[in-house]
Structure 1
């Protein structure tokens, strides 16, 4: 049965590759930066990292939207404080019939552990020994994508529950085939993730918890042999359906695929957005 399924995927893979060049496909980028939340929850400052990567219109869009957002006041020892946080904003570009483009903000996440902080979950060095394996079927099909995992950790930093909340592809194609490729990438990411270990919080309000949920992106990107690395700022965007981890009581749909490559977002860390996103 597995050989038959692999054969079907490979036989249809050319359809996905051909469709990936369609003018209907959207493009997307994660705009990285920082923000400062005032004591009343308003945004005091917004900084976009490496603005030249995105272009001034996109930078202006993000700055304007974020500056109007309102967050739950950040408390320290029960009192509201001014707080600085990382931000990752997903911007999606769509082509209009007249050849111009529309841009909208699709999601945002805050307070990941890019910086070494003992207040949030961090990756353990041992994880480098268990990288996800690029599935053969996806390589032959020239299929690329990102798997967004939710992992529940125990106090030893071990993964006790794991689920692929969303799988985005860089290819268009028939829905049944895309579903198969999403499953192939998700299986690969989950197999690796179940072997990972993490450093749990030892300071801050999350340190006393019995378990933690983290969200981790796993990226699958192809590069031709001896070719220079591709510019991955803007990539084809074919989002998959969102399925929240079953153990989460209040999943954050806005943050589902708004994670930077290599980041780890800990539930409960970072400011909580109260506003709706400006979709433009």
Structure 2
């Protein structure tokens, strides 16, 4: 991109970054917690982690919904067992014409509580040294966002294909400007991700696969001084378009952004809902 065009984009984004909220802005949080599943896959108990961070009404809504979910039974040596699993639920707030807000559950992901489990992909230690660089033009413009990656991992643990399934930006502005910054964030994130390696599953039902799909979110945030800022609970952003990973037949646009930042989720791993939470 020519320098003059970059300068125009920066000026445009600087002017609109704090403008009034457009209709396509979305506010959401990932609510973390744990579930205890009965042998038949029903939810026995729901615990919300630090529920005061989200507010009691949100915590109560997630708890009530989760108690209606039905999972495939968790098996150990072929037999259904009582299981405790972790839960990450994306809750979206929408502003109504009367000024009040409504909340809905957009997506959810679930995982094994055992951090030492070898049934799924896990990060190699070397990945910590290959962090994506904040795109310089985005940093100068104060543009923040999250890139949701889908990575194809071979049996040696290397990334053989990579897609940015969605890029959400915490700024508003002309579509052309937002598209440009989404592309820049996706490009720099993918450049780093293609160098990452993973420890592949060696136990469980996924161990025999010839490849796996990992989903990893990467968030770019700044504080008032233009420096990296710790994650906040609630975020407001413009959702980007969804691009399905071409090699995956299990991609779910409702759950792509319900993954914990800096975490890796293995497609097909962990407990699965028998009935979609949208139907529950």
TM-score normalised to structure 2 length: 0.91
Which residues of structure 1 form unaligned runs of 5+?
A: none
* Equivalence map 1:120-135=2 (5 Å): 120-135=120-135
Once the two structures are overlaid, the 10-residue window that deviates more, 167-176 or 56-65, is 167-176
- Alpha-carbon offset, residue 273 of structure 1: 1.6
Asked whether the 8 Å contact 1:33–1:46 carries over to 2, the reply is yes
Cα distance in 1 for residues equivalent to 2:62 and 2:84? 17
CA pair 91-279 structure 1, distance change in 2 beyond 3 A: farther
Aligned pair count reads 279
Q: State the match for 1:118 in structure 2.
A: 118
Correspondence 1:160 to 2:160 = yes
Q: State the match for 2:86 in structure 1.
A: 86
Asked whether the 8 Å contact 2:169–2:237 carries over to 1, the reply is yes
CA pair 180-23 structure 1, distance change in 2 beyond 3 A: closer
Q: State the match for 2:51 in structure 1.
A: 51
CA pair 47-71 structure 1, distance change in 2 beyond 3 A: same
Cα distance in 1 for residues equivalent to 2:256 and 2:211? 20
Cα distance in 1 for residues equivalent to 2:113 and 2:135? 28
Cα distance in 1 for residues equivalent to 2:141 and 2:279? 33
CA pair 272-4 structure 1, distance change in 2 beyond 3 A: farther
Q: State the match for 1:242 in structure 2.
A: 242
- Alpha-carbon offset, residue 179 of structure 1: 1.5
TM-score normalised to structure 1 length: 0.91
Q: State the match for 1:36 in structure 2.
A: 36
Q: CA RMSD in A?
A: 2.4
Q: State the match for 2:66 in structure 1.
A: 66
- Alpha-carbon offset, residue 49 of structure 1: 0.8
Q: State the match for 2:21 in structure 1.
A: 22
* Equivalence map 1:173-252=2 (5 Å): 173-225=173-225, 232-252=232-252
Asked whether the 8 Å contact 1:105–1:279 carries over to 2, the reply is no
CA-to-aligned-CA distance 1:19-41 (integer Å, 9 cap, x gap): 3x527533210001111222222
CA pair 112-84 structure 1, distance change in 2 beyond 3 A: closer
Asked whether the 8 Å contact 1:38–1:81 carries over to 2, the reply is yes
Cα distance in 2 for residues equivalent to 1:161 and 1:141? 30
Asked whether the 8 Å contact 2:106–2:255 carries over to 1, the reply is no
- Alpha-carbon offset, residue 278 of structure 1: 4.5
Asked whether the 8 Å contact 1:114–1:263 carries over to 2, the reply is no
CA pair 145-137 structure 1, distance change in 2 beyond 3 A: same
